[in-house]
Each structure stands twice: as C-alpha cells, then as structure tokens.
Amino acid sequence: MFSNHVSNLSSAYWHNELTPPQSRRVAEHLIGCSRCRAEFEDVKLGARFAEQLELISAPESLWAGITAGINVEAAPSRRFQFLRFQFLKPIAIAATLLLLIGGGLLLLLPRRVDNQTGWQVARLGGSPRIGSESVSDNSRLGVGQWLETDAGSRAKLEVANIGNVEIDPNTRVRLLQTNNSEHRLELARGRLSARISAPPKLFFVNTPSGVAEDLGCAYTLEVDDAGNSHLRVTLGWVALQLRERESVVPAGAACVTRSGIGPGTPYFEDASEAFRSSLSRFDFPADPSSQASALHNVTREARPRDAMTLFYLLPRVNGNERAMVYDRMTALMPPPDGVTREGMLNLNPQMMERWQGKLGLTWGRSLDQAAKTWRKVWSSALGSLNGLQGKR
C-alpha cells in the first residue's frame, strides 16, 4: 500500500534521526520494497556528495572591521534609548496606519505626472519637446514623461542635485524614477552624456539591450535604432548589465551591447582596429564557428594595455581557449606574486583578485568601500536634508 512506503523518511533514517520503532520499520520495509530502496540509495548518494562540503577558514582580517563597526554602532546607548522610547511604539503604529490609509486614499485619486519632483530641463539648442510641448525656460521632466530632440535640438537635464545629463540630437529619453535611493532614465534611442557626482549605484540608464549603472563617473551612451548600445567611459566606472551578463567598464574603455544578448567584453578605445573588430566577432558572432578564430585574433592583436580585456575574457572561455588567453596575458605582463597558471585556469578567486589589482581593476573592493564611505558621509552630512543614499 502506498502509505506504507518510507521514501520520505530516507534522509532521517540515514542520519539516525528516527525513533527506534521508526528505524526498524524503515529497515524492514527497505528489504522488501525495491522502489523505496532505490530512492534511499539516491538520498544516500546525495548525502555523500554533501559530505564533501568542508569548513572554510575565515580571514583573520575580519576582526579589524568588526571592531570598527562596533565603534560606530555604540551598542549600549542604543539599547537604552530604545527602552526609553518604548512607550512611543503604539503611537508609531497608529501613525503608520494613518499614513497607510492616507496613502491608499491618494492612490484612489486620479494620477497625474509629478512635474514638481521631476528634473529641470534646459534647452541647449533647437526645439526639444516634452511630450507635445516645447521645452521652455522653466520646464521640468516628470516621471513617465518623454523628452525628445530632433536633428537640430539638444537639451540638458539636471539629475536632482547629483549631476546632469546632456541629450544629443535625435534622442528620445524618458524619466522612469527619481527618488532618494534611485534615479533612472530610459534611453530608447540617440545619445546622452552623463556626469554624476554621487554615491555609486544611484543613477541608472535603461536601454533596450541592458542597464548602465553609474559607479561614480562620466560617460556617453548611445543607442541605435536596433536597440544596440555603445558605452564610452571618460571618468570612473560604469557597469552594464542584462540579466546575468555584466561588464564593468573603466575610464578610457568602451563596451558594446547587443539587443537580446547584453554587454560584450570591455576594451580600451585606443586598441587596434583589428583587436576591436575581432573582439566584436567573438562577443557577438554572426557565425559561431568563427568565434574561435576571432578569439585567436584578439589574443594576437592584444597590447599590454589590452590585458584588461583578456582578463575579462578568462571566465567567458573554457579549456584550451582559456589557456591561450591566459598565456597571452602573461606574455604581455608578468603575473603578480602568488599566482599560478593552473590556479588561473581554474579561475581561483584569490588569484583573479591579485590580477585585478595588478591591472588596476580593483573596482569591486574599492568601489564597495567607496560606496560605504559615501553612504556614511551623505547620510550623516546631507541625509537629514535630502535623504540621498546610494544602493548596494
């Protein structure tokens, strides 16, 4: 009978987590039931694989960060402060309820574009338009509104108080969101130049082929009619992302994205034409069989400065191709201390990090640190005034 089967007890039986009578029942059942026996063997095999997980040693350096963090937290005073204001809890709950009810009523009112919280728009030439209206001296771009320039017009957007975006001719952009934690534009086509002075991950531009995420920088982003984009970074870093595919582009470098595929591999703009065209054929192959020869050309044409591109290619290729890319990297630039070829071919994280440092690509850690510092500074100095906070 089905209810007599014991496969749902397999793990508990294997781990000796059953009572003695239960264990006996399972053991007796397994002798006679081939189905439950097969499932038990399956669980046992999975358990043997799971036993391969080992305890990992934590880095000693963690302690310094903990003590620094505790100094900031000032634990005891917080606890007592909390207790002192316990009586305010019911009032806070009541206030929250009122806000929720009020918010709900507001949602029931007819919605309109919020021009007051939008961005100020300046006309730089020609007749840029917001919707059907021409941009005037006091125009603002509200959330949800499109700003469009024709062949003879240009405009400038003030991104809250964190920077500005210049809109070139034949461009169509829409403000998607602007609040304390996120400012987001959509670039449907055309070109914009952004200059942002804010914590990383506060300003984003959506394009049809990916999202450009500001990491404290200046850059130009162009989208063609097919939805493909071209990013050029002049200061700082920009991350381009589409689903799981992401490229982080440093100053002086560029990156192309393709609609439906996402970002390619970043490259320095002063790389040779042969290098760039081969990289493009590798990233977005019209014929997959030509990808190997394109990669071969990329490695052949690479200069020492192009080791950055080769580094970012390592995780994107496998086996012999990875070995070829890595050997070319080391021919162009001696590897850092403590790095082995075998480790790099296995994408050893510590060794990859050492190479990042050697290539000056330490954006991950330094920007993360910078983001934390920014958050502290902004939240303490300006936070109470404008509430700006970067995202992690």
The least CB distance from residue 6 to other proteins, in Å, is: 11
Q: Is 201 left (phi over 0), alpha (psi -120 to 50) or beta?
A: left
The least CB distance from residue 155 to other proteins, in Å, is: 29
Phi/psi of residue 251, nearest 5 degrees: -60, 140
**Closest to 230 measured CA to CA, from 245, 220, 242:** 220
Question: Of the two residues 32 and 349, which places its CB atom closer to other proteins in the complex?
Answer: 349
Residues in the chain: 392
Question: Of the two residues 244 and 273, which places its CB atom closer to other proteins in the complex?
Answer: 244
Q: Where does this chain bind other proteins (CB under 8 A)?
A: 7-12, 15, 17, 39, 42-59, 61-63, 65-67, 69-70, 73, 75-76, 78-79, 201, 213, 241, 244, 246-248, 312, 315-316, 318-319, 345-347, 349-350, 352, 356, 364-365, 368, 391-392
Contacts of 200 (CB under 8 A, 6+ apart): 214, 215, 216, 237, 367, 370, 371, 374, 390
Question: Of the two residues 57 and 132, which places its CB atom closer to other proteins in the complex?
Answer: 57
The least CB distance from residue 126 to other proteins, in Å, is: 36
Q: How far is CA 37 from CA 14, 30, 182, 251, in A?
A: 12, 5, 55, 61
Helix (H) or strand (E) segment spanning residue 293: helix 291-301
Helix (H) or strand (E) segment spanning residue 190: strand 182-196
The least CB distance from residue 66 to other proteins, in Å, is: 5
Question: Of the two residues 66 and 286, which places its CB atom closer to other proteins in the complex?
Answer: 66
Helix (H) or strand (E) segment spanning residue 14: helix 10-14
Question: Of the two residues 20 and 349, which places its CB atom closer to other proteins in the complex?
Answer: 349
Contact indicator for 192, 159 with CB cutoff of 8 Å? no
The least CB distance from residue 203 to other proteins, in Å, is: 14
Question: Of the two residues 7 and 257, which places its CB atom closer to other proteins in the complex?
Answer: 7
Contact indicator for 207, 184 with CB cutoff of 8 Å? no
The least CB distance from residue 150 to other proteins, in Å, is: 34
